[in-house]
Amino acid sequence: MKTNITICLLGCLSLALLSACQKKIALERPLLLSMVDSVSEDDFNVESTFTNPLKSSGADPWVSQKDGKYYFTYTQGSKLVLYETTAMSELALAKYDEAWVPPTGMPYSKNIWAPELHFLSGKWYIYFAADNGSNANHRMYVVENSSADPMQGTWTLKGKVADSTDQWAIDGTVVEYGGQLYMLWSGGNAGAAPQRIYIAPMSDPWTISGPRVAISSPSYSWEMNGSAINEGPQPIINPGGQLLVVYSGSGYWVDTYCLGLLTLQANGDPLNPAHWVKTSTPVFSMNAASGAYGPGHNGFFKSPDGTEDWLIYHARSAAGGGGRNARIQKFTWNMDGSPNFGIPVAINSPVTKPSGEPIRYVYKKATWSIAGYSSQELNNNRIATKIIDDNVLTPWIARYSSPATSYPDHWIAVDMQDTIPVDGFIFVQKDGDRKIKDMEVLVGNDNATWESLGTIQLLNLHPNKQYFTLPVRKQARYFKLVPVSGHDTQPQPGLAEVSAFILD
């Protein structure tokens, strides 16, 4: 397995920090000699929101959730990939794994679409559509992994998943309902319209054991923009135990691609088309003001504490085409048991994090200063103080204007002015080249004696915040950053911003 390690050194020690009545943060550990008596709430900016899109790519997004972890995947075309995170709002920082690459020259070697990860009967399965290079030959396939951790172990092809007709099929998913496992997918005549939603029973995670039944065909005008298509079926059981299927209507390439809803009547048979009721209007649609064009192909997940329902979907940020990116937003339930998705939330606008994700109290840096550095670039004003100026467009670059210096002799130290509690650090990479890959982090109280907290790995991203969370809280006045290697061949590293935080 090929795994790219990210910066996440998880295992945070969450502590109660805020006292509503005194507006102070009480420090439960004994204060060091130089420690201020308390830290005022005014010393922090509360980081409790995120913005969409989560990733600049992300067509046909899917999330599976197990044991406090989220596993994300999406259409990459030539392979199956997984991303692991404990906080969906920080998906851009997720640990990455290239799970399975098909051999060449097979019926499933190309055009791998809409993968979904499911945990069934004690094993992991990824369902996906694939062909041999011709869309008319798209069929559903599944790979299996017996490892408890889907980011580890070996994925083995179990084979094609098809009913007796063995016709064109994409967007397969599974659901257990009433003690029976079912598969749902979108099918058509060699990929030609109309595409319908089918369901069939399964005897095991890779075998369809009965005839397919069409439970939805394009019948409303909003399902026929671009082409007459129903696809991307996503089952969900509402709080009343009723089975629903949210699906995508119209061609994914049009701005009016949207979500529709099928509802199984009370005590209904999923294999009886007459027991399914289609809502006559979309339940989630394009919203130009939000920068959400063609919102669709969704999935569902719960917040970390299990109290909230969340929708994941893809959309384009501009009209008339372009790449699809992954987004999330919370939804609620109507009195009749149907989901209330609202309208797509605006891109680049703050959204409250899913309940149970870490809330960080980020120290303000107005009084911070640079305690020392190995080098800085004077000619372009990319000097040491730029690392704490709260401007991601003004980086520090660790080199003399002339001559340049190289790894591993660079370092920078920051004075936070008081010995304060720290649960972790936030880094923002500079734009362009010279991004840091490996960096040692040290803390101290006298700018001379240092305790190494280890070497972390930063992703090649800008301007995303990247988090280094300590296993245990530290008390420190100074911290020191020592770049060890970079993401390119440039020998002089750079960094846009650094901050420190404590956790709620």
The answer to whether residues 475 and 401 touch, using CB atoms and an 8 Å cutoff, is no
> In 10 A of CB 468, how many CB atoms?
22
- Which of the residues 47, 84, 231, 423 is marked catalytic? 231
- Going by the DSSP 8-state scheme, the letter that residue 147 receives in this structure is S
Q: Rounded distance, CA 58 to CA 112, Å?
A: 14
Catalytic residue among 47, 60, 116, 309: 60
Interatomic CA distance for residues 382 and 401, integer angstroms:
10
Q: How many CB atoms lie within 10 A of CB 271?
A: 16
Are the beta carbons of 106 and 160 closer than 8 angstroms?
Answer: no
- Closest among 82, 139, 153, 89 to 111, alpha carbons compared: 139
Q: Tokens standing for 2?
A: 């090929």
- What gap in Å lies between CA 25 and CA 5, rounded to an integer? 34
What is the edge-to-edge ordering of all strands in the sheet holding 80-85? 2-4, 95-100, 80-85, 69-73, 62-66
Active site residue 60: yes
Q: Which tokens hold the place of 205?
A: 């995670």
Residue type, 172: G
Q: Which residue type sits at 29?
A: R
DSSP string, 320-374: T----EEEEEEEEE-TTS-EE--SPPPTTS-EEPPTTSPPEEEEP-TT-EEEEES
Q: Assign 230 to helix, strand or coil.
A: strand
Q: How many CA atoms lie within 13 A of 289 on its CB side?
A: 2
**Contact between 129 and 113 (Cβ < 8 Å):** yes
Which helix (H) or strand (E) is 499 found in, with range? Answer: strand 497-503
Cα angle 141, 146, 152 (rounded to 5 degrees) comes to 95
The residues assigned a catalytic role are 60, 231
